[in-house]
Amino acid sequence: MNFDFSDDLKLLRDQTRKFLREHSPTKSARRILDGEAPYDAALWRRVAELGWLGAAIPEEYGGIGLGYEGLCVLAEELGMAVSPIPFSSSIYLAAEAILAAGSEAQKQAYLPKLAAGERIACFALAEGPGNPNPTRIMATVEGGKLSGVKLPVADGGIADMAVVAARSEGKVGLFLVELATPGVTRETLKTIDPSRDHAKLGFDQVPAEPLGPADGWPIVRRVLDRAAILFAFEQVGGAGACLDMARNYALERHAFGRPIGSFQAIKHKLADVYIATELARSNAYYGAWALASDAAELPLAAAAARVSAIEAFHLAAKENIQTHGGMGFTWAFDCHLYYRRAKQLALAIGSAPYWKDRLVDELERRNER
Amino acid sequence: MNFDFSDDLKLLRDQTRKFLREHSPTKSARRILDGEAPYDAALWRRVAELGWLGAAIPEEYGGIGLGYEGLCVLAEELGMAVSPIPFSSSIYLAAEAILAAGSEAQKQAYLPKLAAGERIACFALAEGPGNPNPTRIMATVEGGKLSGVKLPVADGGIADMAVVAARSEGKVGLFLVELATPGVTRETLKTIDPSRDHAKLGFDQVPAEPLGPADGWPIVRRVLDRAAILFAFEQVGGAGACLDMARNYALERHAFGRPIGSFQAIKHKLADVYIATELARSNAYYGAWALASDAAELPLAAAAARVSAIEAFHLAAKENIQTHGGMGFTWAFDCHLYYRRAKQLALAIGSAPYWKDRLVDELERRNER
Amino acid sequence: MDFNDTPEEAAFRAEVRAFLDANAKLKSEAQPATRRRYISDRDELTRAKLWQAKKAEAGFARITWPKRWGGRDGSAIQQVIYNEEEARYLVPGGVFSIGLGMCIPTMMGYCDEATLQRYVPPALKGEEIWCQLFSEPAGGSDLAGLRTRAERDGEDWVINGQKIWTSGAHYSDYGILITRTDPRAKKHAGLTMFFLSMKSPGVEVRPIKQISGTSNFNEVFFTDVRIPDSQRIGKVGDGWKVSLTTLMNERLAVGDAPGPDAEDILELVRTLELEDGPAIRNAAVRERLADWYVKSQGLKYTKFRTMTALSRGQTPGPESSITKAVSASKLQEIGSFGMDLLGMAGGIMDTELAPMQAWFQEALLMAPGLRIAGGTDEILRNIIAERVLGLPGDIRVDKDVPFNEIPSGRS
Amino acid sequence: MDFNDTPEEAAFRAEVRAFLDANAKLKSEAQPATRRRYISDRDELTRAKLWQAKKAEAGFARITWPKRWGGRDGSAIQQVIYNEEEARYLVPGGVFSIGLGMCIPTMMGYCDEATLQRYVPPALKGEEIWCQLFSEPAGGSDLAGLRTRAERDGEDWVINGQKIWTSGAHYSDYGILITRTDPRAKKHAGLTMFFLSMKSPGVEVRPIKQISGTSNFNEVFFTDVRIPDSQRIGKVGDGWKVSLTTLMNERLAVGDAPGPDAEDILELVRTLELEDGPAIRNAAVRERLADWYVKSQGLKYTKFRTMTALSRGQTPGPESSITKAVSASKLQEIGSFGMDLLGMAGGIMDTELAPMQAWFQEALLMAPGLRIAGGTDEILRNIIAERVLGLPGDIRVDKDVPFNEIPSGRS
């Protein structure tokens, strides 16, 4: 039995944590939240220099070939630090889509730049209310030109290029689009988590290059499944950060002459947060194994990891505020950074009802085999 | 605003409670649970003598015309005492069905005897797994003869007669059947709550008298709606009894040198039980108003009362055991009488998913008006 | 049972309606009310003062107060009836409730006639607004843990310290203030109550920005603020006893968590299409809708039972604690679920893009504060356990110790 | 990451499989296992003793014990591997786990060589069964609140009192017994541990009927039972310290609540028809199924993480408390929901009428005990809060007081 990260990866985790504590303290997220910039460009550059963006990208495409377990380790730490960078959009989603569906030429053309952080890509799937489903896709590519509206698009305001799900000749597929092109409009959206950029992207006859087969929905699903595991690690990291904050506050804050952490109401609340976080962590680990080994169980593992992680981070973030009492719901305290991020991550790539439904689909499929 | 029982009914409640404490202590339910008899016949006779069975039956049919608010008061007390008598089968369901659908001759023939407790009736709807729905009804009446199987039938083992839902010429209606008739077989069922009789009734060409119109499902639904409010009062009574038991035990039982009721884990648990019970009580009160005034809102009020009461009694019964610790899950303590009854009442006349669905149906209907 | 007024109640209700009809617009006749009730506009204060003056003139400003103070010696149920009726009209609300509901009643119990003659009428007419300076950074749930010092200096007291969570401090004219006058006495024994002008030198008010982006509360800093001894309320060292009058009124005032409810989820799902059909047909949606509806109705009819008790002349107990205990966390879950239903677009808060003007998203950000302010979820459950169910209080380690020896976690 | 054995582990696993193949039947090859695992048959005890003798002979009875006591100086992960493999075979289980897992290890820490020579081998071979006489009516969660008295009389001690929740007392040959030898000492100081024959005069065992109808536990009454001082374990007054050895082993042994799980709900809903179609298509069913599946998987992989720690030679901590904290109340809700799905027939417990042999109904009756026995939901959360998260213990009012002055609620 070897169901834990290797000593090397644990060392990476420690280094990552130390690095992010220095270069991505919560005030970095707060600057973005307060609208000073759409993302932390300095942090992005540093992260790129460390090779993190190419952690799971093969060396022939400019990555460092650390592998997916390594990427999971990084994701957990980024979640813990509520880092305000377009990592998930550019790497978990766009780069993965190109890896999964791109031609050799496309991989050569795009991946090295994404791995180097020279270019930022976003993943444009949603078109307003709805969970991932081909019937929701109305954006259309005709004669190589994309028209339609995508919203919300995470990091759509800062990306150089987009991987766009669009309809062409009745089928939904993926397309690569340069965003610095006439016909592209971008509008920043106000969202629950302003520490991450979100945009409404309009396309009017914009050149679009096919990425993978015309019937690309299976690839979309595969990309979402794989991303779900990486998102789960971010969420587990966030939940763990909330639990730490809450525990520390409960030890330090006194009421009625004793630390509030000595009251069972707080103790049992935090025990429940611990339980949810550990369950989510274990489900995420299984996802990491499935991701790294590209196992047949990946879709089921991904759904389980995501459902568990959504629940844990939601619980941890809201009860962290509750443990902090009055200070918890002030803008000045950091609790809300995590509360916002918990919901942002819970909705990106599809909300809990979608993933629960997917999970049972996969159970049915498993039983039919 | 006059949203409480009258002083007269409060007096009735006090007297009822006193009476049941003497004549229906929990050991009465325990005798039935242990299989000594299928119901407490002595209690049944006393209850009949006090006129309770005819509380809401008009005086011209042998009742005392106390009205439905009075019946609600009695139901709460019967629930509090986990009384092991066929009150709900014979009165909330069978007598109500006859009142709702019977001809004048049928009312004259049956209601006085039910009101006097001389005869016991049961309500035979279920045919194995399923919630109330006409598609579930396979029992058939042809040429005035009923054939089919009904299970479970509460009090089917002790009833003299049954109100049976059966299919005739494609429509589902109600029928009156004498059970001491050749062709009727009865088998006692083992159930979650052996303090109440449940049977499997077999009918093979048994004479059946139509009760109401051939298309009787609207009547079934009306009977169930009205019964749901009375069941809700039993459940609120049971939940209240559990809360009392738990509170008393928490005050008396010491651990770590202090009453266990001084630990927040117990305090907050019982506060949650109190909250659920009060919400259920308030919903039940609204049901009582709807029942007494035969309001158009009755179906919605009934569904709300039932959903709220199911939840409150389930919570109160299980957390009462938990508060009692080790003693709570012994046969010797009374906690399980309530835990069993909570589930029995939650399933009789349809389980929570059915009533939640009905509730939303009624909300949709209300909004269409 | 019925939902009808007694004849006396009906007569009073008619009187109230006549007043309201003459002086305000029915909500149903006005522009459709905006959902975003969390944010108030800037003119609200001016309009609130005007409206309060009208109410005071008509004798509706404080129905249960004695006639000599501008009330009408009315009953609690009359106040409830007035509130019910007023809720149907578009009138500015809220800014006087702390002063008239908590501060002035406390003063009435302890101050002399001259003081009351000076302060009660302007408060009633809305000319002067009051706030309550109780909570502190070191004393939230544990109110008596407060550290703001009052030290005697001749005929004055000199105040240094900080209050927090003070609603309306930024527009208030006066406040009642609880201070620690003897740190060597036991926790509850060394406190003294005062009132003061919020314009006193050394008083600084800073709004607190909440995570919802609004500022409903303030921090108030006191630096060598001088209060004459004549503005002391009650005896030196009796501050805790005096404060209880105020707090009892607060508990009764704590109500529903405002925001979207089961009916709003119903409105959303009646038109929303999910991937597999109309949201209203989805069994998981229906179950949640039923659960929340049942809770809301349970609270509604619990209030009706309380009103019935009032109507029968009884005093309702701490049962009303259940309202906030249930509704604040329900609001949080409803907000969250409403967003989940919108899938990947659930996080959008632009009011023109998000369904129902981003009502669910606003609720998610507002709910955490509602679970805390006015008694946390945990404190409310303690109150229910202790005062309704009669269970023992928590073990207290801070009761019989001089205040300055109680562990505070400060190094 | 992988789920593979190390080469050493693989070799050990092969050895275990060879032993099991030679001596037992695979479950998959045997009759379909009955679901109703809650009830054991009468011959189980005889079969269990035979099986234990075989395991002892092959050196698998207690893998981590020293070789001189019949173990193999093996590692914790080897024990886990053995357990995993054995679980795939139809073998009688359970009756020796308390004796070998808790009682004998405690004796090994405190008893002399001659005593161990007398008792360890027969226990290992299954010839003698041991039970643990700790809990009392007055001391459940608060174990140290025990009142069973041991009074010195010459070379003997005389025992009077009552134990409860003793698993296997009715078939046990010996027991270890914690008693109060000094009621005037502080609570944890006046305790002393003994072992005794369950056949001693004055010992009376009465099974406790649980609400599930089964009797997994006993009450044990002691009336003037004499124990020679040579059967004392540890020093007089050291009983609490001695008991901690036993209890640490107990916490690790507490595991999953046995009963229907997400997979069983899946099995039910795959064939069940609801009024509006197949149950598996109902969104509310699917949501719950997903929620429970995710919890079960979370627990499963948490155990894998624990095993990995063992495999790497680390000692797992109190994290394993989460298993029962999650699974017992999950079992209660699964039982309840399985019944709800069956609608009006959900209460039927005749195994030939109720789907899946009334597995869900049995679970509803079994779950309350599982939420309590071996550490209540509340105690487990305290353990997590204190030992994992490092939060403070509850305030103790019983620590520094003579035992006989601690409030007990008895009048």
Q: What's the pLDDT band for D309 if we cut at 50, 70, 90?
A: confident
Phi, psi of D57 (to 5 degrees): -60, -40
Residue of D15, D44, D250, D386 with catalytic role: D250
C255, HSE (Cβ side, Cα atoms, 13 Å): 10
DSSP classification of residue A329: G
- List CB contacts (< 8 A) between B352 and chain D: 340
Find out whether B132 and D344 touch, Cβ atoms under 8 Å.
yes
Q: Cα(C93)–Cα(C91) distance, rounded to whole angstroms? A: 6
Q: Compute how many other C-beta atoms are within 10 angstroms of the C-beta atom of residue A340.
A: 24
Q: Cα(D224)–Cα(D200) distance, rounded to whole angstroms? A: 10
Asked if the Cβ–Cβ distance from C364 to A330 is below 8 Å, we say no
Q: Which domains does chain D possess?
A: 7-95 (no CATH), 130-249 (2.40.110.10), 255-388 (1.20.140.10)
Q: Which residues contact B294 (CB under 8 A, 6 or more apart)?
A: none
Task: Show the DSSP H helices in D258-405 as ranges.
Answer: 262-271, 283-311, 321-341, 359-370, 377-383
**Chain C residue whose CA is closest to A320:** C368
Q: Cα(B68)–Cα(B64) distance, rounded to whole angstroms? A: 11
Nearest to B14 by CA among B65, B58, B80: B80
Q: Cα(A61)–Cα(A53) distance, rounded to whole angstroms? A: 12
* C-alpha radius of gyration, chain B, whole number: 20
Domain range list for chain B: 7-115, 121-214, 218-368
Predicted local distance difference test score (pLDDT) of residue D250: 57
What pairs with residue C267 in β-bridges? none
Q: How many residue contacts between A and D have a Cβ separation below 8 Å? A: 160
Token output for B51: 């006129």
Helix (H, G, I), strand (E, B) or coil at D259: coil
Q: Report percent pLDDT > 90 for chain B.
A: 98
Find out whether A62 and A286 touch, Cβ atoms under 8 Å.
no
Phi, psi of B190 (to 5 degrees): -85, 125
Token output for C32: 């459709």
What amino acid occupies position C353? L
Interface test with B, best of C75, C288, C321, C391 (most B CBs within 10 A): C391
Asked if the Cβ–Cβ distance from C322 to B275 is below 8 Å, we say yes
CB burial of residue C120 (10 Å; 0-12, 13-18, 19+): buried
Asked if the Cβ–Cβ distance from B3 to C390 is below 8 Å, we say no
Beta pairing, strands D130-133 & B258-259? unpaired
Q: Report percent pLDDT > 70 for chain A.
A: 100
Phi, psi of B368 (to 5 degrees): -80, -20
Nearest to B257 among D209, D369, D407 (CB): D407
Predicted local distance difference test score (pLDDT) of residue C75: 87
Read off the pLDDT of residues B157-171 as tens digits, 9 standing for 90 and up.
Answer: 999 999 999 999 999
What amino acid occupies position B20? L
Interface test with C, best of D272, D280, D282 (most C CBs within 10 A): D282
Span of B267-281, D1-15, D216-230 with lowest mean pLDDT? D1-15
**Chain B residue whose CA is closest to C389:** B247
Average pLDDT over residues D89-100: 87
Q: Cα(C134)–Cα(C168) distance, rounded to whole angstroms? A: 13
Q: Write the secondary structure of chain C as one string of H (helix), E (strand) and C (coil).
A: CECCCCHHHHHHHHHHHHHHHHHCCECCCCCCCCCCCCCCCCCHHHHHHHHHHHHHHHCCCCCCCCHHHCCCCCCHHHHHHHHHHHCCECCCCCCCHHHHHHHHHHHHHHCCHHHHHHHHHHHHCCCCCEEEECCECCECCCHHHCCCEEEEECCEEEEEEEEEEEECHHHCCEEEEEEECCCCCECCCCEEEEEEECCCCCEEEEEECECCCCCCEEEEEEEEEEEEHHHEECCCCCHHHHHHHHHHHHHHHCCCCCCCCHHHHHHHHHHCEECCEEHHHCHHHHHHHHHHHHHHHHHHHHHHHHHHHHHCCCCCCHHHHHHHHHHHHHHHHHHHHHHHHCECCCCECCCCCCHHHHHHHHHHHHHHHHCCCCCCHHHHHHHHHHHHCCCCCCCCCCCCCEHHHCCCCCC
Question: Is the per-residue pLDDT at A190 higher than 60?
Answer: yes
Is residue D284 less than 8 Å (CB to CB) from chain C? Answer: yes
Token output for D403: 């035992």
Q: Cα(D167)–Cα(D172) distance, rounded to whole angstroms? A: 9
User: Measured over all CA atoms, what is the biggest interatomic distance in chain C, rounded to whole angstroms?
Assistant: 77
Nearest to D368 by CA among D162, D214, D168, D205: D214
Is residue B256 less than 8 Å (CB to CB) from chain A? Answer: no
Read off the pLDDT of residues D275-290 as tens digits, 9 standing for 90 and up.
Answer: 989 999 999 999 999 9
Token output for A194: 């302003």
Nearest to B344 by CA among B84, B159, B25, B69: B84
**Chain A residue whose CA is closest to B265:** A264
Question: Is the per-residue pLDDT at D292 higher than 60?
Answer: yes
CB burial of residue D410 (10 Å; 0-12, 13-18, 19+): exposed
Question: Is the per-residue pLDDT at A347 higher than 50?
Answer: yes
Q: Cα(D293)–Cα(A356) distance, rounded to whole angstroms? A: 10
Nearest to A135 by CA among A217, A226, A219: A217
Question: Is A218-368 in CATH node 1.10.150.20?
Answer: no
User: Measured over all CA atoms, what is the biggest interatomic distance in chain D, rounded to whole angstroms?
Assistant: 77
Asked if the Cβ–Cβ distance from B200 to D208 is below 8 Å, we say no
Predicted local distance difference test score (pLDDT) of residue C36: 45
Average pLDDT over residues B18-23: 96
Interface test with D, best of C272, C275, C282 (most D CBs within 10 A): C282
Token output for C126: 């809305």
Nearest to C283 among D284, D395, D397 (CB): D284
Q: Is the dihedral of CA B59, B62, B67, B68 positive or negative?
A: negative
Q: How far is C21 from chain D (nearest CA, A)?
A: 48
Q: How many residue contacts between C and D have a Cβ separation below 8 Å? A: 15
Is residue B21 less than 8 Å (CB to CB) from chain A? Answer: no
Predicted local distance difference test score (pLDDT) of residue D315: 76
Question: Is the per-residue pLDDT at D18 higher than 80?
Answer: yes
What pairs with residue C138 in β-bridges? none
Q: Which residues contact D43 (CB under 8 A, 6 or more apart)?
A: none
Asked if the Cβ–Cβ distance from C397 to D395 is below 8 Å, we say yes
Q: For the domain B7-115, what is the CATH code?
A: 1.10.540.10
Asked if the Cβ–Cβ distance from C1 to B4 is below 8 Å, we say yes
- List CB contacts (< 8 A) between D284 and chain C: 283-284, 286-287
Question: Could you identify the residue written with the tokens 């009694």?
Answer: B313
- List CB contacts (< 8 A) between B311 and chain C: 291, 294
Asked if the Cβ–Cβ distance from A353 to D283 is below 8 Å, we say yes
Predicted local distance difference test score (pLDDT) of residue B152: 98
What are the pLDDT tens digits along chain C (411 aa)? Answer: 888 888 999 999 999 999 999 999 888 776 544 444 444 566 888 899 999 999 999 999 999 899 999 999 998 889 889 988 998 898 887 789 889 988 999 999 999 999 999 999 999 999 999 999 999 998 778 889 999 999 999 999 999 999 999 999 999 999 999 999 999 999 999 999 999 999 999 999 999 999 988 888 999 999 999 999 999 999 999 999 999 877 766 555 556 778 999 999 999 999 999 998 999 999 999 999 999 999 999 999 998 898 888 888 887 777 678 999 999 999 999 999 999 999 999 999 999 999 999 999 999 999 999 999 888 999 999 999 999 999 999 998 888 888 888 888 765
Question: Is B121-214 in CATH node 3.40.50.12500?
Answer: no
Catalytic residues of C: 250
Read off the pLDDT of residues B44-97 as tens digits, 9 standing for 90 and up.
Answer: 999 999 999 999 999 999 999 899 999 999 999 999 999 999 999 999 999 999
Please give the distance of CA C91 from its chain centroid, rounded to a whole number. 18
Find out whether A192 and C349 touch, Cβ atoms under 8 Å.
yes
The ipTM assigned to this model is 0.95
Interface test with A, best of B264, B269, B322 (most A CBs within 10 A): B264
Question: Is the per-residue pLDDT at D36 higher than 60?
Answer: no
Asked if the Cβ–Cβ distance from A262 to D391 is below 8 Å, we say yes
Read off the pLDDT of residues A62-121 as tens digits, 9 standing for 90 and up.
Answer: 999 899 999 999 999 999 999 999 999 999 999 999 999 999 999 999 999 999 999 999
Q: Cα(B2)–Cα(C308) distance, rounded to whole angstroms? A: 5
Q: Compute how many other C-beta atoms are within 10 angstroms of the C-beta atom of residue C271.
A: 10
Average pLDDT over residues B290-298: 95
* pTM greater than the 0.90 cutoff: yes
What pairs with residue C180 in β-bridges? C149, C191
Please give the distance of CA C178 from its chain centroid, rounded to a whole number. 18
Q: What's the pLDDT band for D346 if we cut at 50, 70, 90?
A: very high
What amino acid occupies position A118? E
Nearest to B135 among D275, D355, D372 (CB): D275
Predicted local distance difference test score (pLDDT) of residue D307: 84
Helix (H, G, I), strand (E, B) or coil at A173: strand
Query: For chain D, which chains pass the contact test of at least 3 CB pairs under 8 Å?
Result: A, B, C
- List CB contacts (< 8 A) between C291 and chain B: 307, 311, 356
Token output for A4: 């834990």
Beta pairing, strands B145-154 & B140-142? antiparallel
Is residue A19 less than 8 Å (CB to CB) from chain B? Answer: no
Q: What is the mean pLDDT of chain D?
A: 90
Q: How far is A265 from chain B (nearest CA, A)?
A: 6
Find out whether C402 and C184 touch, Cβ atoms under 8 Å.
yes
- List CB contacts (< 8 A) between D283 and chain C: 282-285
Average pLDDT over residues D239-251: 77
Phi, psi of D20 (to 5 degrees): -65, -45
Predicted local distance difference test score (pLDDT) of residue D34: 47
Q: Is the dihedral of CA A164, A166, A169, A172 positive or negative?
A: positive
Span of A35-49, B55-69, B206-220, C235-249 with lowest mean pLDDT? C235-249
Torsion of CA D69, D72, D74, D80, to 10 degrees: -90
Question: Is the per-residue pLDDT at D33 higher than 60?
Answer: no
Find out whether B273 and B352 touch, Cβ atoms under 8 Å.
no
**Chain B residue whose CA is closest to D410:** B252
Residues belonging to chain B: 369
End-to-end CA distance of chain C: 61
Token output for D382: 């305290």
Is residue C36 less than 8 Å (CB to CB) from chain D? Answer: no
Predicted local distance difference test score (pLDDT) of residue C42: 67
Asked if the Cβ–Cβ distance from A268 to B265 is below 8 Å, we say yes
Q: What is the mean pLDDT of chain A?
A: 97
Q: Cα(A287)–Cα(A307) distance, rounded to whole angstroms? A: 12
Nearest to C269 by CA among A216, D283, D53, A176: D283
